[in-house]
Amino acid sequence: MSKRKKHPSKAIELAVQYAENRGWRYKEAGYSAHAWRRLLCSFQSADGCQMSVWSTPRSAENHAKQIRRIVDRCEHNTE
């Protein structure tokens, strides 16, 4: 797997790494002008948890907290 491009916000980058360390993966956001990537949980189905990681959220710290909260609440966690 190729090395992914880092998010410009340090808080969001750390939250994305937190998700990756818990088995989440990312994919390109497609043609969305505002989304940087999409995070997908380890559950390999359309029913799996997912969320958009925004390029320039209003509050980077709040968006990072949201990413961690969604990862922690995922019912498909393998831990």
User: What pLDDT, on a 0 to 100 scale, did the predictor assign at position 1?
Assistant: 45
User: What pLDDT, on a 0 to 100 scale, did the predictor assign at position 65?
Assistant: 98
Rounded to an integer, what distance in angstroms lies between the CA atom of residue 44 and that of residue 65?
A: 24
Range 18-36 burial, b when 16+ CB lie within 10 A, else e? ebeebbbebeebeeeeeeb
Per-residue pLDDT of the chain (79 residues; tens, 9 = 90+): 457 789 999 999 999 999 999 999 988 877 766 899 999 998 877 778 999 999 999 999 999 999 999 999 998 875 5
The H helix count followed by the E strand count for the chain is 2, 3
Rounded to an integer, what distance in angstroms lies between the CA atom of residue 78 and that of residue 63?
A: 24
Tell me the whole-structure pTM to 2 decimals: 0.85
